[in-house]
Amino acid sequence: MEETGEHYQICTRCVMDTSDPEIVFDEQGICNHCHAYDLAIQKQVFSGEAGKKILDSFVKKVKDEGQGKEYDCIIGVSGGVDSSYVAYQVHELGLRPLAVHLDNGWDSELAVKNIELLLNKLGIELYTYVLDWEEFRDLQLAFLRSSTPDSEIPSDHAIVSSMYMKAKELGIDNIIDGCNFRTESHLPRAWSHGHLDWRYISSINKIYGTKPLKNYPHMTFWQKIYYARRFISFSILDYIDYSKTEARKVLEEELGWRYYGGKHYESIYTRFYQGYILPTKFGYDKRRTHLSSLVCSGETTRAKALEELINDPYPAALMREDKEFVVKKFELTEEEFDDIMALPRRSFYDYPSYEKIIRNPLWFGLLKKAYRSIYLKGKNYARF
């Protein structure tokens, strides 16, 4: 889905373009996402001996603090490449994790098999947090009706919250996640924003939902601050020489893991959302962000990325099958779904949020300082 027009521009280094309404280019035509990537790599990614030193120190800390406990850390597993490779790495490091998986009702059959196979071979125990489907379905529909370009926020917020909740329940101080700057950069705020903003999520539910969120795992602003201060969330892939290509090879050859055909396609809804709803309604092709990250990390070339973007996001027959499945699972008619798709586009900034309060000049300076000293300290172990 290549855009054209008088004001169209694409980055000369990656494949991000003006489908991001906030994109900025320098005099060489390189976008702000690439510059942010370079800065993040310098400041928050540690390769070679530097990464090994920090990782060894963290592993020792986890083992020391986990003595006498059944588990010494929490890991999240979705069945995707990054989280699966985290499980592999944690096992190789001799840690004793509890794997936490969020069942939101949309796991593909292959994802379930990959998780089961992976954890059985690694000897890692699994805890599955099963969402109240009727409540969660209503929240997802509320987000669709809100017409904001990220209906994945309900899942993402619940994933993070459920991991913190389990860590608190078991008295485990260390959470190891699969986030990494090498392959998860180039993320436009206009495309995806507000994942941890409970005021935003609850506001969407109050406006468009029909059920109170009694069982949905979540965290308020102050709970987020508490969790960030209380627990260490360690992005292990930023401290090894991580290559998604090599990770896939290891998972496939050593553990029998199978690829889904796209990033986050372990979820049927994610596959449909990224492959159909986002490009059809908003003109956003999520492959641009994924491919741009891989271009900057050296795992693919810009030419190959552009060639891949010529193809449809995923096979037309599978898209039709997914649409029928999603519409039926949401208990909608196709006409009702099409009516939702036709609603005027809106954004995060059209709804109440904690961010709007924080950005108030009276509060911004004080809260920003508190946020940096509390939240970021907990998020990045290398800052200690």
Which residue ranges form the domains of the chain, and what is each CATH number?
Answer: 46-348 (3.40.50)
State mean pLDDT over 30-40. 96
Confidence label for 376 from pLDDT (cuts 50, 70 and 90): low
Residue 3 has pLDDT above 80, yes or no: no
At residue 257, the pLDDT reads 93
For 270-288, the pLDDT digits (tens) are 999 999 999 999 999 999 9
The strand pairing partners of 130, in sequence order, are 103
Pull the structure tokens for residue 350: 């059209």
At residue 378, the pLDDT reads 47
Q: Which of 199, 179, 232, 193 lies closest to 346 in space, CA to CA?
A: 193
Global pTM value: 0.90
At residue 356, the pLDDT reads 85
Q: Among the listed ranges 91-100, 203-212, 218-227, which one has the minimum average pLDDT value?
A: 218-227
Own/partner contacts of 335-341, CB < 8 Å, gap of 24 or more, are 340/144, 340/145, 341/277, 341/280, 341/281
**In 219-372, beta strands by DSSP E:** 232-235
User: How far apart (Å, rounded) are the C-alpha atoms in residues 129 and 134?
Assistant: 15
